[in-house]
Amino acid sequence: MSHYSIWLKRYLSCREKILKDLERYKGEIEKVKDKIIDKNLILPLGDSRNNISGRMCFVDGGEGIRELLGAAVYFIKASALLIDKKGNRKNGEKFVRDLDIGIIDYDEHTKERVELLRSGMEFDIALECVEEYDPDYIFLDGSLYVNSRKKPIECKEYSIYRKKFVRLLKVCKKNLIHIAGISEDSKSKLFINYLSLKYDINFPRFMTDSSVLRMIYGNRRYRTIEFTPQSRFETDYKLSETMVASFPTVYVQPTPLSNPLRIDIPDWDRGLEEIINIVVELSKGSRNYGYPLPMYLVHLDAKVNKRQADWSTKQLIHHLSRNDPSFYSTILHDTRHNLRPEY
């Protein structure tokens, strides 16, 4: 049991080192606070209007991957929750779901390719809802800006993902559907980059958008001014040969004790204020969590359960081992890691 004493000893020394490292940035943080506190970047958040009206579609996805000897088995789910709401009344709720199971070869981007497949399925389920249920609003888990700027990978999954994303935006624009991305736990520095470029401010490296906002406004309800993200190296808003778009963005802290949410929409949409109102109204359920309840429900619905993934992998291995033993022994045989005895 001696490793516990080593752990405790290292913990006691490392915690002091971490504290000293962070304290070195305290002065820089105070300087930043003094520079931006008077820029009118933060706006008070008034009471939301409980008069939401329309058909809303909330979309999220989940994924799982099981690594075998020659390939990986992937599981991707997408779920959409449709809600008809008028004032205090809900007129109907419906889940729309999809699921895919497949195998994927190994390369340096295997996990990223599975993520692209999952995102593509989310776009598909949103398009299905548009075609069959004609929603007024679509809320996607994650940022539209980040989706538009996802790092290219030389694989078919990326090109398919890109086409589906552009098609969803075009369909929403054509049908006058409000589409918004909601980032639950943003670790980005988009707002910091915006402030750096606009006011020539250097931020400490340990600061993210969320930490800057908490530094300024703390445990209060607020929203930021609207800004259009642009990194120091990105100036082109071209999504395809036929579409150019930027994504106006705001941060919102909908409840006093929650963390800021990031909301972005395409630049042709003029409904940002109404979308903020909807997000704030649907986030009233928890002062600490501060997240739209339908987004939370659809996240739970789309989650890939570990037991389901493990069971399906075992059944697939069993099926292939009986029907074609050569595939089983050369490609889908379990890895030594998976066969490691438990202790």
CATH code (residue 151): 3.30.2170
- Tell me the pLDDT tens digit for each residue of 29-81: 888 888 888 888 888 887 766 678 899 999 999 999 998 888 889 999 999 99
> 291 with 333, same domain?
no
Per the structure, the count of domains in the chain is 2
* Residue 6 within any structural domain of the chain: no
Residue 340 C-alpha from the chain's centroid: 34
- Tell me the pLDDT tens digit for each residue of 208-230: 999 888 888 888 899 999 999 87
Q: What is the pLDDT of residue 343?
A: 59
> 235 with 332, same domain?
no
* Residue 2 within any structural domain of the chain: no
- Tell me the pLDDT tens digit for each residue of 149-188: 888 899 999 999 999 999 999 999 999 999 999 998 778 8
Place of tokens 């029907």: 323
pLDDT band at 24 (very low <50, low <70, confident <90, very high): confident
- Tell me the pLDDT tens digit for each residue of 270-284: 999 999 999 999 998
Mean pLDDT confidence for 96-103: 95
Mean pLDDT confidence for 256-263: 90
Q: What is the pLDDT of residue 292?
A: 93
What pTM was computed for the model? Answer: 0.90
